Amino acid sequence: MLSYRHSFHAGNFADVLKHYVLVEILEALAKKDKPFEYIDTHAGAGLHYLHSEQAQKLAEFTNGIGRLTPKDWPELDSYFTAINACNPTKQLTHYPGSPLIANHFLRRQDRGWLYELHPSDAKLLQKNLQKKHKMRVMQSDGFTGLLSLLPPTSRRGMVLIDPSYEIKSDYEKVFSVVNQAYKKFANGIYAIWYPVVDRELILRLEKKFINSGIKDIQRFELGIKEDTTEHGMTSSGMLVINPPWELHEKMSRLLPKLAKYLGSDKNGENTQGVFKCDVLVKE
């Protein structure tokens, strides 16, 4: 039974990190004319209305995208461009999920493969992507789907793996599927999102990657406070395999600034924000 719906969390501080990294990777891939493929194993609904009952319930976007302005964050320019494309009135009423963000950067020659298991979200995704012929939606398991697509025809591309981890076995599954995927497509870029709700689970996941033989893994983490034993997500991170060469440098400038700001109170003071930006496995 899938109960997680991303619309409750759309645009929060975790989405800012995840979607900024996504944009950076897509822009790096688009620097060459050769086609590439975008595979999203856990795609979600594609677009979220921020005035909906779900988004307003926790209003998480107010300490995420809702707190950032393009004027103060020029380094987020491309990310804002993708968001603005979903907000023709220039007010932040909608927040794009990974499929619509990716669609913004895919060119005529590129292709997207989107897996979403939840029947309602898969239907919404299909609707939100109308007339976007570069993208194909599959209402099926993204882990199995990924392995069936690799290696992609273009031999270039990225995979976004963004489970909700509501099923604890997802931590193990993510590692085992990426490990198999890497054997089929070793030069692909893999971006794996994780929540920090129990640090022990993340340490175990990282250890598996470190010992896997997979090379060139970087870790980017953004948190609004230090780890805690209380309930809830304090940080989230991205493990990126085969990252674009400029990504680490950009993240090392952006993450301290984002952590300081999003970890602070309404006046921008008393920050508790934290971040990690490091190389987990060398090239």
Ligand X SMILES: C[S@@+](CC[C@H](N)C(=O)[O-])C[C@H]1O[C@@H](n2cnc3c(N)ncnc32)[C@H](O)[C@@H]1O
Q: C-beta of 211: minimal distance to ligand X in Å? A: 25
Does 116 engage in binding with ligand X (CB under 6 A)?
Answer: yes
Q: Which one of residues 94, 104, 118, 156 is an interface residue with ligand X (CB under 6 A)?
A: 118
Sites for ligand X among residues 34-53 (CB under 6 A)? 42-44
C-beta closer to ligand X: residue 192 or 217: 192
Q: Using DSSP, state whether 113 is helix, strand or coil.
A: strand
- The tokens describing 8, both together, are 């409750």
Cβ-proximal residues to 88 (8 Å cutoff; 6+ apart), any chain = none
CB 276, CB 251: distance < 8 Å = no
Q: What share of the chain is helix, strand, coil (3-state, %, to 5)?
A: 40, 20, 40
Please tell me the distance from the alpha carbon of residue 79 to that of residue 16, in angstroms, as a whole number: 9
The amino acid present at 76, given as its one-letter code, is L
Please tell me the distance from the alpha carbon of residue 61 to that of residue 97, in angstroms, as a whole number: 13
For residue 116, give the nearest of 128, 107, 104 by alpha carbon. 128
Q: Of the listed pieces 85-93, 156-164, 181-189, 200-208, which binds ligand X according to CB under 6 A?
A: 156-164
Q: Which one of residues 97, 157, 237, 263 is an interface residue with ligand X (CB under 6 A)?
A: 97
Q: Using DSSP, state whether 16 is helix, strand or coil.
A: helix
C-beta closer to ligand X: residue 9 or 156: 9
For residue 17, give the nearest of 219, 208, 155 by alpha carbon. 219
162 annotated active-site: yes
Q: Which one of residues 164, 179, 212, 271 is an interface residue with ligand X (CB under 6 A)?
A: 164
Q: C-beta of 147: minimal distance to ligand X in Å? A: 12
Show the site string, 120-149: x = touches ligand X by CB under 6 A, - = not: -x-------------------xxx------
The amino acid present at 188, given as its one-letter code, is G
Q: Which one of residues 36, 38, 61, 115 is an interface residue with ligand X (CB under 6 A)?
A: 115
| Phi, psi (rounded to 5 degrees) for 257 | -70, -45
Show the site string, 51-90: x = touches ligand X by CB under 6 A, - = not: ----------------------------------------
Please tell me the distance from the alpha carbon of residue 155 to that of residue 110, in angstroms, as a whole number: 12
C-beta closer to ligand X: residue 4 or 73: 4
List residues binding ligand X (CB under 6 A): 2, 4, 6, 18, 42-44, 97-98, 115-118, 121, 141-143, 162-164
The set of catalytic residues is 162
